[in-house]
A and B are shown apart, each in its own frame.
Chain A
Amino acid sequence: MLLIHCPYCEAERPELEFANAGEAHIVRPKDMSQMSDEDFEAMFFIRDNPKGINLERWRHVHGCGRFFNAIRSTVTDKFLKTYKAGEPRPSGDEIAELMK
């Protein structure tokens, strides 16, 4: 079981309090009906699914209830960092720094 740091509660809690909510930083378009099929497919179905560093959303369902983002390795399952929703996507340099 993972130990997850909720950036809102500022506390580490067992995975059972959380729900994974898929890939992070996927922007929902304002007007979906205007999207091309290609763009809809890319937004709705295509996923990075990396073997390595993944940016993903979690929700503290049995805590504060809020969504936040995380940087986690899918090889070791270790979290590098969690951060609040709305904060910018971490840059490659920032991730490389965290991996040191």
Chain B
Amino acid sequence: MRNFNAFTLAREALRGHKGWGKQWRSPEPKKSYDVIIIGAGGHGLGTAYYLAKEHGITNVAVLEKGWLGGGNTGRNTTIIRSNYLYDESAGLYDHSVKLWETLSEELNYNVMFSQRGVMMLAHNVHDVQSAQRHIHANRLNGVDNEWLTPQQAKDYCPPLSISKSARYPVMGAALQRRGGVARHDAVAWGFARQASAMGVDIIQNCEVISIDRAPSGEVTGVQTTKGPIGAKKVGVVAAGHTSVLMEMAGVRMPLESYPLQALVSEPVKPVFPCVVMSNAVHAYISQSDKGELVIGAGTDSYLSYSQTGSMHILQHTLDAIIELYPMFSRMKMLRTWGGIVDVTPDRSPILAKTPVPNLYVNCGWGTGGFKATPGSANVFAHTIARDEPHKINAGFTLERFRTGRLIDEAAAAAVAH
């Protein structure tokens, strides 16, 4: 693997960029591995990277039914923040934001992490109280978050309408300055490149169709479209398809899979300096470096694996966008798409051991797991390597739905990205 630096970039610029070569290997699967990760999204690739880097476990395969990064990792609106209400969540998401801050250097790959600030609007008294409660809770946990008046919100984001005659007038906002966006593909590619260089086999177009277990119960490997592959440990990191995979090992999950959509506009000059979210009217927006407005919509109300979503969901979001930013009313939308998100009852992820020995699961990120990619991967690698959770993910168990020890961000936020 060639490092990216000023010298190699200059040299390749002079040679027409012909000398770069493949960024990761595409090997055939070996007979068996110490660890198999199912799913080459950011969380799965990151897990393989940290297994190799921090735990010295390099005999690892990441199996992907499609192409690397083609799941939700490549379909999301890339909002990154850590201002969640509960202590467990603040710990996990802020661990992630801290890793984001140095990830480009760590991976020698520009993940384009841009801390342009994430502002969450309040449109009614309930929103204001909830935002202020979050701000106080966040501060106690050492997570930055501050209250802005409507005028301060407009100063931070000039396209925002704070007109009192708006249908849902802006009554203030919570701003996390360390929040922002990153380049989604680059995160998958950066982790893949480094993991591959340390010996991890990334095997694309390889769907897991069943999970093998010994008579005594523990997992021994998987059956795939490329044949059987043995494994001492298996980690399921398959987002919307987690229930399907866990069923193969006989574990029923507290998950439901829904389509979630996003869309981008035609590219325009820089007009939108930050990320703005509004839970009440359900619209969130930022501008990509290419100039497109990146707009997140909501989930459909029914289970689906179809990776599309309904038109009326998009329309509802655009209604809200135009109300908040009247200047975008004549923008043309270029593309829309959907991803399948796995939602838990408390809207917090599950990052844990399972009732089946040697089987681990990282799921339930629902509509908001991109921001957690490095943090989740980091503590999940620890969980697999040591066969016990890191203290940061100790609360994110599967058993919490039995014991009642929920991490109820669902009640705290209604929606969360």
Q: Which residues on A are within 8 Å of B, measured CB to CB? A: 1-2, 15-16, 19-20, 22, 37-38, 40-42, 44-51, 54, 56, 72, 74-77
Q: 10 more A-B contacts (CB under 8 A) besides A45-B345, A49-B244?
A: A2-B310, A37-B402, A44-B345, A47-B253, A48-B243, A49-B257, A50-B303, A51-B243, A51-B257, A51-B305
The distance from the CB of A41 to the nearest CB of chain B, in whole angstroms, is 4
Q: In the complex, what residues of B have CB within 8 A of residue A2's CB?
A: 302, 310
B252, A15: Cβ atoms closer than 8 Å: no
Among the interface residues A37, A38, A41, which one has the most CB atoms of the partner chain B within 10 A? A41
A74, B401: Cβ atoms closer than 8 Å: no
Chain A proximity mask over B347-366: 1 for CB below 8 Å, otherwise 0: 00000000000000000000
The distance from the CB of A62 to the nearest CB of chain B, in whole angstroms, is 13
B303, A54: Cβ atoms closer than 8 Å: yes
Provide the bound-state CA to CA distance between A56 and B302, in Å. 9
Q: In the complex, what residues of B have CB within 8 A of residue A20's CB?
A: 301-302
Would you list the 6 A-B pairs with minimal beta carbon distance, nearest first?
A: A49-B243, A45-B254, A20-B301, A45-B401, A41-B402, A20-B302
Decide if B256 is an interface residue (CB 8 Å cutoff).
Answer: yes
Provide the bound-state CA to CA distance between A94 and B252, in Å. 25
Provide the bound-state CA to CA distance between A25 and B401, in Å. 21
Provide the bound-state CA to CA distance between A46 and B253, in Å. 5
Decide if B116 is an interface residue (CB 8 Å cutoff).
Answer: no
* Residues 368-417 of B at the A interface (beta carbon under 8 Å): 401-404
The distance from the CB of A40 to the nearest CB of chain B, in whole angstroms, is 8
* Residues 291-347 of B at the A interface (beta carbon under 8 Å): 301-306, 310-312, 345
Provide the bound-state CA to CA distance between A86 and B210, in Å. 36
Contact A47 to B305, CB < 8 A, known contacts A15-B312, A41-B401: no
Which residue of chain A is the closest to B242 with respect to CB atoms?
A49
Residue B306 contacts which of A44, A46, A74 (CB distance < 8 angstroms)?
A74
Q: In the complex, what residues of A have CB within 8 A of residue B403's CB?
A: 37
Q: In the complex, what residues of A have CB within 8 A of residue B244's CB?
A: 49-51
